[in-house]
Every structure is written in C-alpha cells, then in structure tokens.
Amino acid sequence: MRVFSHYRSRMKTNFPTPGKITPQKAIRLQQEWRGRVETQDRFGPVQFAAGADMAFDPVTNIAFAGVIVYRFPELEEVERCMARRKLRFPYVPGLLSFREGPVLLAAFARLRIRPDVILIDGHGMAHPRRFGIACHMGLALDTPAIGCGKSILVGRAAEPGARAGSSAPLIDKGETVGAALRTRDNVRPIYVTIGHRISLPSAVRIVTQCTDGFRIPKPTREADHWVGELRRAYQARRQGEGAWNFFPQRGTTAAGGQISGRS
C-alpha cells in the first residue's frame, strides 16, 4: 500500500550545490552553511528511512549513487533509485560533499517516496568545520539526516560497552560532535553524527533501530553493496567483459517497492 502523504514525483533541494567552485570557495561555503544546521529534532513519526552511498570508477571518474528507502522500523525495502554522473570536483579531504553531493542529489531527486530520515555513509558534525556530507545532504534536501561513519574523522571517543546498543560520546575540542555506537556485541563501533534536523540521542536511537545483526546499519550497508555492484558492472562493460545491462528499469522490488535506474 502506498502512503500518499509521502508520495511525490521528486525530492527538491533547498539550495544548489555549486558545480564550478574552487576548494577555497567550498571551505567558505561550509563555514557559511554550518550555521543553518539544526541540531534538535524537527520531524514527525518516522515511517520511511533511507540509506545512501556512492562509488566511482577511478579510471574514468564516473560515479554511481544509490538511495534505498525502507519502511521503518520493519526495514522492508520499498524503493531504490540510482544516478550516474562524472565527478567534477577534486578529491580534497574535508570537502567530500562537494565531490559526491551532485550525484547523490540526482539519485534522491528520482525518489517517489519521500523518506522521513536519511542515513548517509559519512560524517555530519564530526567534521573539521562541523559540516560533513550528512549535514550537506540534510540541509540541501531539508530532511533529517544522520551521518554513519566507519571510522573517526575528528575527535576521540571512549570505548563503548561490549554489548550492542552501548555508546560513548565522540568529543572534538571539548564539543560533543557524535557518538561511538556498538551495533553488534564485541564488534568495533560505528560513529553516529548529526546531519540536520535531529538530535544526537534521536540519531543514535534511529541508527540502532536500523541494525539487523551486522555492524553497519542495513540502509547504508545495502546502498554500499548496490553502488559497488553498479560500479563493477560498469567496469566490466568498459573492459569488454560484460554487457551494459546493470541499470534496472523502473519496476518493483521484491518487497513490492519502486525501482528507478535511469541515468
């Protein structure tokens, strides 16, 4: 059953991600935009959660972004969309969102179901300028966003308890910028950070509810797997080893959700 309050043709961005800018200009924009990030809860009941990730071919700089939407808290997939773009912005530590943001926003723009919260494979406020990719995507989409990092970018955190669900503050320069969260017993933690329109306790709670026995939450884990498959299929085709048949046409997932794969 489609929930019409969440259904619309496109997710629109509130402000553009500039295409032709220098790294110096990007840093100034981060310093300007970080003041717009909301660190308190501003959302209603969460019915749909999305995970997003990107992968690229280092030879051609062709990138593939994938967004998968799940019914929450059941974690039943209802829609997935992808986009393909050539990366234009150089790789500069701390400016990941300017490199990956355009292709991610293109994938979000194809969603028919608007997620209530977005999980991004990357950091939010746990960033040198307090404006990582989760902040950038959350602000651009005006949607609650959470950064789910596999390692620490800035700050230090005590080791959380050994049991799943245990957490410890991630602190940088005396400021709590995130949390180390144990998502599986006796397995190294992930790092949860505020992206936009959500408090840290709510971010930790939602990420915990998105785990299903693995270290990485299901939404970002499955998005990572999907974009990796898209990249490998592209590389095989580029090398003459496979057919150009990996873009799914609009249809339904195994759970009855929508798929969009137009590039």
Instruction: Write out the chain's pLDDT in tens, 263 residues.
Output: 333 345 544 677 766 666 678 999 999 999 999 999 999 999 999 999 999 999 999 999 999 999 999 999 999 999 999 999 999 999 999 999 999 999 999 999 999 999 999 999 999 999 999 999 999 999 999 999 999 999 999 999 999 999 999 999 999 999 999 999 999 999 999 999 999 999 999 999 999 999 999 999 999 999 999 999 999 999 999 888 544 444 553 434 444 445 544 33
User: Would you say how long the chain is, in residues?
Assistant: 263
* CA-based nearest residue to 119, from 182, 211, 56: 211
**What is the C-alpha to C-alpha distance for residues 182 and 166, in angstroms, rounded to an integer?**
5
Dihedral sign, Cα of residue 185, residue 190, residue 196, residue 201:
positive
Q: Which domains does the chain have, with CATH numbers?
A: 38-239 (3.30.2170.10)
pLDDT at 256: 44
Q: Please report the sign of the dihedral spanned by the C-alpha atoms of residue 97, residue 99, residue 105, residue 108.
A: negative
pLDDT at 240: 81
- Residue-level pLDDT at 239: 87
Rounded alpha-carbon distances, angstroms, from residue 210 to 9, 58, 71, 214, 252: 26, 31, 10, 10, 22
Q: Which of 259, 260, 230 is nearest to 245 (CA)?
A: 230
Write the DSSP assignment of 144-192 as a string of letters.
-EEEEESS-SSSEEPPPPSSTT-EEEEEETTEEEEEEE--STTS--EEE
Check: CB of residue 98 under 8 Å from CB of residue 131: no
Q: How far apart are CA 97 and CA 26, in angstroms?
A: 10
Q: Give the model's pLDDT for residue 11.
A: 72
Nearest by Cα to 143 from 70, 224, 38, 217:
38
The predicted pLDDT at position 20 comes to 76
- What pLDDT, on a 0 to 100 scale, did the predictor assign at position 15? 64
47: which residues sit within 8 A by CB, 6+ positions away?
Answer: 3, 6, 71, 72, 116
The three-class DSSP label of residue 68 is strand
Residue 51 neighbours by CB distance under 10 Å = 28
Peptide bond into 73 cis (omega under 30): yes
Distance CA 113, CA 178 (A): 28
CA 113 to chain centre: 16
